[in-house]
Amino acid sequence: MPKRLDGFHIMIVSKYFDQIHDFFTLETVCRKFMGNITKFHFNPIPLTPKTLKYFPRIETLNIWSKDEEAFMNKVWDDSLVTPNISKVNFFRVVIWYEVDYKTSVIKKSSNFVFKNIVYGEGDRLKYGDVVPLGIATVGEDAFYGHVTLDNIKIPESVSELGECCFSNCSNLREIELPNSVIVLCGFCFQNCYKLKDIRLPLNITSIEESCFEHCALLEEIRIPSGVSKLKKKCFYGCSKLNLIEMSNCVTYIGNECFKMCRNLSLITLPANLKDLQLNTIFEVYNKFIVYSFIYR
């Protein structure tokens, strides 16, 4: 980027403004920034009937919230509309808030593009166990109690597995997670008694409460470097767990995180753990757990 911003680069910068007044102020800075707002072919901020006129070249309408003005481009028939407003046609309408998969299927042939599709329990019952490509989140309770599910592959588009997503899938043996997944919500694999092995995605940053609680056959777990906290009861009751690998990036381990892990005999802990209380994290049975620390 040049030392002095030209018109092209200032447009890139202004994409990150969040108020219409910021655009107005920019154009008063110097002559070469005048007309910046008219260069946009998409709206970088939510619009109203009053502010739309300042973006005369818009072809793509971005909508980040259900409460934002859509200019009569309705996702659902009962969507909120502003009284006394005429429809404005756009080449593309991009929806950034959550919608269910069913809605995306219904609107597939329209000019709507959905960036945050959730595959929920209702979608799974209607469309099946294969999570389609393009899904951003496998929703809360999506596969809860699905006792005949024994294996599943999550597509590359998914970034989050919702709370209780696969909880009580008592016959789930194998799940393939892509590196796009960054969040495993609470109770995600709770009571998946037959889950023996899982490779955590390299880009994961969050493993929430009771995520693998009572995964009785789980033997090994390797925590990627992006994870800094292991919430309480994360691996509670993983009675066959014998290997835990974690990087020095982990700074917090929640209460009872590894309790009832009867087969655990050796664990290497990061040196910079805070508020470490071994007696509330682990539980010793017939074996002596050897604790060592990573120093780097």
Q: For 239-269, what is each residue's pLDDT tens digit?
A: 999 988 888 889 999 989 999 998 887 777 7
Is the pTM for the entire model greater than 0.75?
A: yes
Q: Is the pLDDT of residue 222 over 70?
A: yes
Q: Is the pLDDT of residue 288 over 50?
A: no
51 pLDDT band, cuts 50/70/90, is very high
| Lowest mean pLDDT segment, chosen from 179-188, 215-224, 248-257 | 248-257
Q: For 121-178, what is each residue's pLDDT tens digit?
A: 999 999 999 999 999 999 999 999 999 999 999 999 999 999 999 999 999 999 999 9
Question: Which domains does the chain carry?
Answer: 7-75+82-97 (no CATH), 98-295 (3.80.10.10)
Q: For 83-108, what is each residue's pLDDT tens digit?
A: 778 899 999 999 999 999 999 999 99
272 pLDDT band, cuts 50/70/90, is confident
| Lowest mean pLDDT segment, chosen from 204-213, 259-268, 275-284 | 275-284
Instruction: List, in order, residues 6 or more apart from 73 with CB less than 8 Å away.
Output: 61, 87, 88, 90, 93, 112
Whole-number pLDDT of residue 247: 85
Whole-number pLDDT of residue 180: 98
Q: Is the pLDDT of residue 200 over 80?
A: yes
